[in-house]
Amino acid sequence: MEIKEGYMPFQGYQTYYRLIGNPQNPTIVFLHGGPGSTHNYFEVFDSLAEEGYCLVMYDQLGCGLSYVDHHPELWKIETWVEELKALRDYLHLDKIHLLGQSWGGMLALEYILHHQPKGIESLILSSTLSSASLWAKEQHRWIRYLSLEDQEAIQQAEKEKNFSSIAYQEANDHFMKWHCGDFSNDRWACLQREKKIGKESYLVAWGPNEYCPMGTLSTFEVSDELEMISCPTLIISGTEDLCSPVVAKTMFDRIPCAKWELVSDARHMVFVDQFERYQSIMKDWLG
Catalytic residue among 102, 126, 127, 130: 102
Cβ pair 265, 273 in contact under 8 A: yes
The 10 Å Cβ neighbour count of residue 64 is: 22
Catalytic residue among 39, 97, 179, 268: 268
The span from the CA of 135 to the CA of 36, in Å, is 18
Q: Is 241 a catalytic residue?
A: yes
Phi-psi domain of 278 (left: phi exceeds 0; alpha: psi -120 through 50; beta: other): alpha
Amino acid at 32: H
Q: Is 218 a catalytic residue?
A: no
The 10 Å Cβ neighbour count of residue 92 is: 7
Amino acid at 41: Y
Cβ pair 238, 142 in contact under 8 A: no
CA distances from 135 to 209, 213, 253 (A): 12, 9, 16
Catalytic residue among 59, 97, 126, 241: 241
Q: Is 174 a catalytic residue?
A: no
Annotated active-site positions, please? 102, 241, 268
